[in-house]
């Protein structure tokens, strides 16, 4: 009975293998190899089952043992298959339920009240926007006015600087002119004093009772106190008068060659005559 079951199972498996071999040609080598492997395995198992077993050795302690059947049940190929295991069918994860939003019911009166409040807020916002525009216009006008004032102040400062520089220049010119006038007044005063002195001297010469003759032959009158000696002379006459002044005379004790020696500082009186040729 066991052999028949084994043969039936082997034949069924061969049929399955043959059925699988009828599929596309790329599985044919695999099916042939599997059939040969199964045939070899069946022959090997049959040879082992047909071989006589040796008598069991009695244990020294005489322990109970199980009896061995002459033929083992089953061919040893139970559970053997070349088919791939099917993937496990896992149950799909159920999506989490979305949170339910609790709907509130608003009556028409409340809705109208809310709409009225929104319209009122909108009107207030429009009014505030108009006020903001007016304030911005006022601010722009103030800014322009401030810019105009700044420009006027800058122009006034430039004009002030120009006037100040002009005043400084005029003051400098006035001071220079004043110094020149003072110098001119001083020079005129000195000139007038000199003229007055000359006039006084000339008046003294005129009123003096002395009559003197120059070397040039012109007659001059001198006053008392030697006023005539203080007049201005030309360079030649001044040189001569300077040499005619009194000087210290030293007499020499020994003169080596008096005939050929002139003592330094000796005054020699001479007369120069100029002959004019016709």
How do residues 145-190 score in pLDDT, each as one tens digit? Answer: 888 888 889 999 999 999 999 899 888 888 888 888 888 989 999 9
* 219 closest CA partner among 240, 199, 205: 205
Indicate the range of 21-25, 121-125, 270-274 predicted with least confidence.
Answer: 21-25
Cα separation, 14 vs 37, whole angstroms: 12
SS3 220: strand
pLDDT of residue 193: 92
Cα separation, 180 vs 209, whole angstroms: 45
Cα separation, 49 vs 68, whole angstroms: 12
How do residues 98-111 score in pLDDT, each as one tens digit? Answer: 665 555 555 677 77
Q: Count CB neighbours of 6 within 10 A.
A: 20
Residue extents of the structural domains in the chain: 2-50
How much of the chain, in percent, has pLDDT values that exceed 70?
54
Q: What are the tokens at 215?
A: 């070397």
User: pLDDT confidence of 58, banded at 50, 70, 90?
Assistant: very low
Q: Which distant-in-sequence residues (6+ apart) come within 8 Å of 207 by Cβ?
A: 223
pLDDT score of 221 more than 50 = no
Query: Could you tell me the end-to-end alpha-carbon distance of the chain, in angstroms, rounded to an integer?
Result: 202
Q: Which distant-in-sequence residues (6+ apart) come within 8 Å of 74 by Cβ?
A: 2, 6
Q: Count CB neighbours of 10 within 10 A.
A: 15
């Amino acid at each position: 009975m066991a052999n028949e079951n084994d043969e039936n199972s082997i034949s069924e498996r061969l049929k399955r293998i043959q059925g699988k071999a009828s599929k596309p040609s790329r599985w044919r080598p695999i099916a042939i190899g599997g059939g040969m492997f199964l045939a070899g395995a069946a022959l090997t198992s049959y040879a082992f089952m047909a071989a006589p077993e040796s008598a069991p050795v009695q244990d020294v302690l005489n322990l109970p043992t199980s009896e061995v059947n002459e033929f083992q049940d089953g061919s040893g190929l139970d559970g053997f298959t070349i088919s791939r295991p099917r993937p496990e069918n896992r149950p799909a994860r159920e999506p989490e339920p979305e949170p339910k939003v609790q709907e509130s019911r608003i009556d028409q009166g409340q809705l109208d009240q809310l709409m009225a409040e929104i319209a009122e807020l909108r009107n207030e916002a429009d009014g505030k926007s108009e006020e903001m525009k007016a304030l911005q216009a006022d601010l722009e006008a103030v800014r322009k006015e401030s810019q105009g004032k700044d420009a006027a102040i800058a122009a006034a400062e430039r004009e002030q600087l120009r006037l100040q520089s002009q005043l400084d220049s005029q003051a400098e010119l006035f001071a220079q002119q004043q110094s020149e006038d003072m110098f001119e007044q001083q020079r005129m005063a000195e000139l007038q004093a000199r003229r007055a002195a000359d006039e006084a001297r000339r008046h003294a010469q005129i009123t003096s009772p002395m009559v003197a003759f120059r070397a040039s032959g012109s007659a001059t009158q001198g006053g008392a106190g030697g006023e005539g000696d203080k007049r201005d002379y030309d360079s030649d006459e001044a040189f001569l008068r300077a040499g005619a002044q009194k000087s210290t005379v030293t007499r020499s004790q020994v003169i080596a060659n008096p005939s050929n020696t002139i003592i330094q500082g000796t005054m020699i009186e001479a007369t120069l005559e100029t002959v004019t040729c016709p």
